[in-house]
Chain A
C-alpha cells in the first residue's frame, strides 16, 4: 500500500528507552566508566511497563535507560575527564613498558583529576535535600572507615571516611541531637534529629570481618567517592550553624573531643530547635513546651556524671553516646589517645565493665554493664543500676524503633520502663495509644465491679425487707460527692460512642463488629503471651528457690 503507514517500534515507548550498550556507545565510554558516571550523576535504569514493546518484540531481559536521561548525561563535563583518564592510563602503560621512568614520573605528576562539587550542587540544590539523603552517605562512610588498610581500596579513601565520620560524631555530640540507639547482631543503629530531619545510620562493630567476595568493590568505591564529597559539604554547613570552626582540630584516631576548637569564646550553648513559629492555640503551645522540656531533660541525661570505660567494652560507641548526653568519659591511657583521667580517680561515679567479676572495687562508684547506657538513652531516664551490675542477667535490650500499636504484645520490661517513666513524672498525663486502651479497660472493669457490689447490697437489702426486718437505713446528711471531671468527660465520651454504635446501619455494624473482634483477638493473644511469660518467670523463681533451699540445706 502507501508509504504513509506507521511502522512498528518507531514512536512511543520503544523510542523513549535505550539499552545500556547503546547508551554506552552514544557516550563513547567503557562499561565501567558508564556505570561510574550513572552512579555519580544519580541516573538509574528503569523497568518499562510494556517490555515487549520497548524491546522491539523480544522478551529478553535487558537494562533500559530513558533516552532523555542519556541525553542529559551528554552535557556532563566529567565525561571528558574520563576520556582523558583513559588516555593517561594508556600513556602510562606505554611508558612503563618502555621503562621510561622520567616519563612515568612526569605523567604521574600530571594525572587528570576531576571534582564532584558541581554534581553535589546539582543533585541537592538546597541543604535540606542533602540532609534527607544523608542516611546512605553516613552508613557508607562509617563502613569504609572500618576497612583494613590493606590497599584493596585506596587507603586515602579510608582515611577521608574516618575523618568525616569523626567530624559528624563531633557535630552530634556538640548539638546533642542523638535520639535512639539499637545494638543488633549486625551492627549499631543510631538515629538523630538534625535540623528537623531524622537521620538513621548503621555502624558495624569494630571486630575483624571477612570481606564477602560477591560484592562489587568498584561500585561501592564510586558511591563512597560521591558520598564523601556530600558528607564533607554537609559537615561544613552544620558546623557553620553551630558557629564552630571547620575543619576541627580533632585527633582522628580517637574521639578526642576535649580539644578546644571553637572560634568564639562563648561557653557551649545548647542548640535550640529551630522550629518555625507560627500561630498556635494555647493547647498546642503547651504541648510543644512540654516536648521542649522533655528534650532539654533528655539532652542532660548524664549531666554531671563521670564515667570510666574498662578495656573490654567497645570504647568508641560508648564514648560517643555518653558525651552526647553530657557525661565525662575516660579510658585507660594505653588504649588510645584522649583519655583525661585514670581509673584511680576518686570522683568517678560509674565504671563500665563487661567481665563477670571485677577485682578491685571502689566504694563510691557504680559498676555497670554497657547495656545500661544504651537502655537509658532509649528510655530517656536513668534506669535503676541494680539490674545491670556485673554478673547479673541483663534484661533484654529492646528496640526503640518498634511502634507498639493497640493490643499488641508489650514485653513486661517495656511496661516496667513505661511505669518508671510515668513514675518519674507523676503530675502529667501520658497520651499513648496503649494507655488509652488500658485506661478504658480499667474503667470498664471498675464500673463492672461497682455495679456488682451495688447489686449485692441491693439483694441483701431486699432479703432483709422480705424477712420483715427493719432496714437499718437512716437518713443522714448528704455528703458532697466530688465529681471527678475527668471521669465525667470519659463517661460522656463513652455514651457518645454507644449512641453512635446504636445508630449505625446494619452493614456498617457488621464491619464494626468484625474490627472489634479482630482487636479483641489481638488482646487475647497478648494476654496469652503475657500469661506464658508469667508462668515462665514463676518457674524460674521456683527453680531459684529450690536451688537456694538445696544450698542452704547442704550447709
Chain B
C-alpha cells in the first residue's frame, strides 16, 4: 500500500509544473514534452489517481495548527492581542504600575496570561470525575469487605502486596535461569516425601503426579560395565609381558583384517588360463562356421540314441475283479495294522524300562537346549546389538609400540581420545544406535551459466 501511494505521489509530483524527476530525466524530456496522457478526471477511478489536493491539505493543516496552538485563526484575532505600539517612553511605564489594594483581586500575572491555554481544542473530559458513586453499590462493597474481614480472609490488595513483599522477583529469575548455567542451584531431590495421596489414575489424569515409569525401562540395555578399564598392557609404563600380550591382541586384529582382504582377493582372482587371448577370440568367432569331416561321423551316432526309449503302453480299464482284489488287500493290510498296534500297546508294558530311558534322554536334551538358550540370551546382553542401518564398528585398540613407550609421565603422549571412547561405549551398550554423518546429496544438477554482462565481453 505504501509503495503504491509513494508511486502515486511521485507520479503526481512529476506531472507538476516545474518538477524534475531524478530517473530518466533526459529520456522523459525528449519523449514526453508536449505529450501528456489524456485522462478523464471525472471518473471515480481517476479521482484518487490524477487529482492533487496537496494545497488544500496544506491550508487545512495550517488552520488546524493555528486553532490548536494560538486559540483561533490569527486573521480573526484583534489587533491588540497580536501587536502593541512601541512609544519608547520609559517614564510612562513606571507611572503605569498600579497600586495594589489589599482584599481586591489584582490583575493576573503575566506568567499566567502566557501559560493559559487558549487553544480552540478543548481538553478531554475526565469521565471519572463525573461519575457519581451508586449508593447501593458502595454499600454492597463495604458489606463484602466486612464479611471478608470477619471470616479472616485477606483483601485482594493486601494479598498482592504480600506477594510482592515475599519476592515476586524470584519467579522471573527462576524462569530465566537455563539448565546449563554454571551457578545453578541444586536441592535435595530424594529427600522430599510424597505429599499427594489419592487415586493414582485421578492424580495422573489431572497431572498432579507424573505417570508411572514402566519397570522395563529401569533395566539396563547391556550388562557391560559403563567404564571398561584397559588391560594392564595399556599402562603408561607397562610390564614387559603385559605389553606383549596387548601387542599380540592388536596383531591378531590386524591379521584378521588381512585375512579377510586376502579371502576377498582370492575370490575375485582370475586364472591366467581364463584370460582371453587372440587365439581364443578367433576360435570363438569361428565356432560353427568351419565344416570338417569329423563332424559327419559324429552325426549318425547321435541319431541312433533317441530310438532306445520304449513306447508308452496303452492302458486298459481295470476290471471288477481287479478292483475287488485291491479292496480286499487294502482291508487285510488295515486289519494287520490294527492288530499290530494292539499287540504293540500290550507289549509296551514290558518296555517300560527302555521307555523311561528314552524319556530321560529326551528330557535331558530339552534341559540342555534350554540351558544353551539361556546362556545365549545372557551372552546377547554383552554384545552390541544391531539397532539400525549401520553395524557397530569396534574402536581401534589403543596400543603404543615398544619404541613409542615413554618411561616418564612428562614425555607421555596420550593415545586415543576419551571422547571417542565414550561415544563408542554408548553405542556398544545399546544406548544409541550407530549413525554416520549425513552426506550432502544434490537433487538437481548444477548448471553453469555466464552472466549476461560477461557474455558481452568474452
Minimum CB distance partner of B389 in chain A: A61
Chain B interface: which of A108-116, A264-272, A464-472, A490-498?
A: A108-116
A116 CA / B210 CA spacing, docked (Å): 13
Q: How far is the CA of A77 from the CA of B388 in the complex (A)?
A: 28
A136 touches B229 (CB 8 A): no
Q: Is the CB of A43 within 8 A of B217?
A: yes
A45–B235 touching, CB < 8 Å? no
Please indicate the chain B residues that have their CB under 8 angstroms from the CB of A201 in the complex. 227
Task: Please name all residues of chain A whose beta carbon is closer than 8 Å to the beta carbon of B2 when the two chains form the complex.
Answer: none
CA gap between A378 and B75 in the complex, in Å: 107
Contacting chain B: which of A328-336, A395-403, A436-444?
Answer: A395-403
B175 touches A183 (CB 8 A): no
Residue B181, interface by CB 8 Å: yes
B218 proximity list for chain A (CB < 8 A): 123
Q: A182: which of B217, B225, B229 is its contact (CB, 8 Å)?
A: B229
A244 CB–B CB distance under 8 Å: no
- Report B347-359 CB contacts with A as 1/0, cut-off 8 Å: 0000000000000
Q: Which residue of B226, B240, B412 has the most chain A CB atoms within 10 A of its CB atom?
A: B226
Which residue in chain B gives the minimum CB-CB distance to A230? Answer: B189
B208, chain A: closest CB distance, angstroms: 13
Q: Say whether B431 contacts A44, CB under 8 Å.
A: yes
Out of B177, B241, B436, which one reaches A529, CB within 8 Å? B241
Asked if B418 and A186 make an inter-chain contact with CB atoms under 8 angstroms apart, the answer reads: yes
Interface contact A397-B237, CB-CB below 8 Å = yes
Which of A116, A220, A354 is close to B408, meaning CB atoms less than 8 Å apart?
A354
A160 to B231, CA, bound (A): 32
Which residues, 214 to 251 on B, are CB-close (under 8 Å) to A? Answer: 214, 216-218, 221, 225-227, 229-232, 234-242
A44-B431, A118-B210, A313-B410 known; A214 vs B235 contact (CB < 8 Å): no
A44 interface neighbour in B191, B221, B241, B242, Cβ under 8 Å: B221
Instruction: Count chain A residues whose beta carbon lies closer than 8 angstroms to a beta carbon of B.
Output: 101
A184-223 interface mask toward B, CB cutoff 8 Å, 1 = contact, 0 = none? 1111010000000000111011010111101110011001
Closest to B384 in A: A47
A202 near B179: Cβ-Cβ < 8 Å = no
Q: How far is the CA of A313 from the CA of B411 in the complex (A)?
A: 10
Q: In the assembled complex, which residues on chain A have CB atoms less than 8 Å from the CB atom of B415? A: 185-186
The complex places the Cα of A228 from the Cα of B179 at a distance, in Å, of 9
**Which of chain A's residues 236-282 have a Cβ closer than 8 Å to chain B?**
236-237, 240, 246-247
With a cutoff of 8 Å between Cβ atoms, the chain B residues found around residue A184 in the complex are 229-230, 234-236
- Interface flag for B400 (CB, 8 Å): yes
Binds B, one of A3-11, A90-98, A151-159: A151-159
Q: Taking the complex as formed, is A63 at the interface, i.e. its CB lies under 8 A from any CB of chain B?
A: yes
Bound together, the chains give a CA A166 to CA B18 distance in angstroms of: 80
Q: How many A-B residue pairs have CB under 8 A?
A: 232
Contacts A118-B210, A183-B409, A212-B420 given: A109-B176 contact, CB under 8 Å?
Answer: yes
Report whether B241 and A61 are in contact in the complex, using a CB–CB cutoff of 8 Å.
no
Using A47-B385, A47-B386 as known contacts, say yes or no to A187 and B410 having CB atoms under 8 A apart.
no
A406 in contact (CB, < 8 A): no
A341 contacts B by Cβ under 8 Å: no
B388 CB contact (under 8 Å) in A39, A43, A61: A61
Taken together as a complex, chains A and B put the C-alpha atoms of A370 and B185 apart, in Å, by 37
Q: Which of B216, B240, B436 makes the CB contact (< 8 A) with A214?
A: B436
| Stretch binding the partner chain, chosen from A68-76, A451-459, A514-522 | A68-76
- Complex Cα spacing A223 to B419, Å: 12
Is B73 in the interface zone, CB < 8 Å from A? no
Contacting pair B412 A185 (CB below 8 A) = yes
Partner of A212 from B227, B407, B417, B426 at Cβ < 8 Å? B417
Q: Are B419 and A212 closer than 8 Å at their CB atoms?
A: yes
Query: Which residues of A128-148 are within 8 A (CB) of B?
Result: 130, 133, 135-136, 139-140, 143
Contact of B419 among A130, A143, A163 (CB under 8 A): A143
Q: Indicate if the CB atoms of B418 and A61 lie closer than 8 Å.
A: no
Q: Which residue of A lies closest to B388 (CB)?
A: A63
Q: Which chain B residue shows the least CB distance to A203? A: B418
- Which among B240, B398, B418 has the greatest number of chain A C-beta atoms within 10 A? B418
Supposing A61-B388, A314-B409 touch, asked if A236 and B178 sit within 8 A by C-beta, the answer is no
CA gap between A402 and B438 in the complex, in Å: 41
In this complex, the member of B218, B400, B409, B432 whose beta carbon has the largest number of chain A beta carbons within 10 angstroms is B409
Q: Are A533 and B240 in contact (CB under 8 A)?
A: yes
Of B177, B211, B231, B435, which is within 8 A of A216 by CB?
Answer: B435
Sample of 9 A–B contacts (CB below 8 Å):
A72-B213, A72-B214, A127-B190, A143-B422, A182-B229, A185-B230, A201-B227, A209-B414, A237-B188
Identify the 7 closest CB pairs spanning chains A and B, nearest first.
Answer: A135-B226, A159-B182, A399-B232, A396-B239, A47-B385, A204-B418, A232-B186
**Interface residues in chain B, defined as those with a beta carbon under 8 Å from any beta carbon in chain A:** 175-182, 184-191, 204, 207, 210-211, 213-214, 216-218, 221, 225-227, 229-232, 234-242, 385-389, 398, 400, 407-410, 412, 414-423, 426, 430-433, 435-437
List residues of chain A with CB under 8 Å of any chain B CB: 35, 39, 42-47, 61-63, 66, 68-69, 72, 75, 77, 109, 111, 113-118, 120-123, 126-127, 130, 133, 135-136, 139-140, 143, 154, 156-157, 159-160, 162-163, 182-187, 189, 200-202, 204-205, 207, 209-212, 214-216, 219-220, 223, 225, 228-229, 232-233, 235-237, 240, 246-247, 312-314, 354-355, 369-371, 393-394, 396-399, 401-402, 409, 411, 413, 529, 533, 536
